[in-house]
A and B are shown apart, each in its own frame.
Chain A
Amino acid sequence: QKEVEQNSGPLSVPEGAIASLNCTYSDRGSQSFFWYRQYSGKSPELIMSIYSNGDKEDGRFTAQLNKASQYVSLLIRDSQPSDSATYLCAPRVKRGNEKLTFGTGTRLTIIP
């Protein structure tokens, strides 16, 4: 079983619709969860972090965490063409160091 699993996509969503990105993780010691956006040829950019079960909203983005199900998701409302990118899920276990464990990412394309 992979440590972090994401649908690789590509996921195509019409402009203005809701994009839903999913991630499951295997390490129950994960305490912090991060979503990064990565444009082609660029480095990852942090867009959301979540630490507690439930929802966290920031503008058009909502992160959802369910630790019992070992599941974290990212919703993007009113999708824009500029949201087209690869989205990386990264849980973090705080055991001595603060390394991030990344999934392979989901490639999202917003169709105008």
Chain B
Amino acid sequence: ETGVTQSPTHLIKTRGQQVTLRCSSQSGHNTVSWYQQALGQGPQFIFQYYREEENGRGNFPPRFSGLQFPNYSSELNVNALELDDSALYLCVSASGGKETQYFGPGTRLLVL
């Protein structure tokens, strides 16, 4: 148990729809990152939030957006879903300056 929770655990959407994924980070962790893991691939960095500000972004289009709240929980929003967005979405929390990062259990998204 890492203390990081994500909801929902599974989700099925159709192409063109919008989705919001949620993450509650471990207590005291002010940094949250989101990763996308397609089947058979390693996780790919989407973006990171530090104290409610975006702190780096990977090679993902603008239809992937995020938020971090004052309690450091976070949301990942994906608009205009495409079939290739089907993946496991992982939330990772960390305490700024500390080395260890904690993965949540993930949300598995299927786009039909």
Contacts and interface: CB of A to CB of B under 8 A. Distances in A.
Contact of A97 (B35, B48, B105): B48
Given A97-B48, A97-B56, A99-B58, A46 B43 contact: no
Contacts of A60: none
A42 B104 CA distance: 10
Contacts of A99: 33, 45, 48, 56, 58
A58 interface: no
Interface in A32-52: 32, 36, 42-46, 49, 51
Contacts of A88: 42-43
A88 B103 CA distance: 13
Contacts of A90: 42
Nearest to B46: A99
B101 A102 contact: no
B105 A42 contact: yes
B62 interface: no
Contact of B42 (A42, A46, A51, A103): A103
A104 B55 contact: no
A36 B103 CA distance: 10
A100 interface: yes
Given A42-B105, A43-B90, A43-B104, A100 B45 contact: yes
B103 A44 contact: yes
Contacts of B48: 97-99
Interface of A: 4, 32, 36, 42-46, 49, 51, 88, 90, 96-105
13 contacts: A42-B106, A43-B104, A44-B90, A45-B103, A49-B99, A90-B42, A96-B55, A97-B56, A99-B56, A100-B92, A102-B42, A104-B41, A105-B42
Closest 7 CB pairs of A and B: A102-B42, A97-B56, A99-B45, A43-B103, A43-B106, A97-B48, A97-B55
Given A43-B103, A43-B106, A88-B42, 4 more contacts: A43-B88, A44-B90, A97-B55, A100-B92
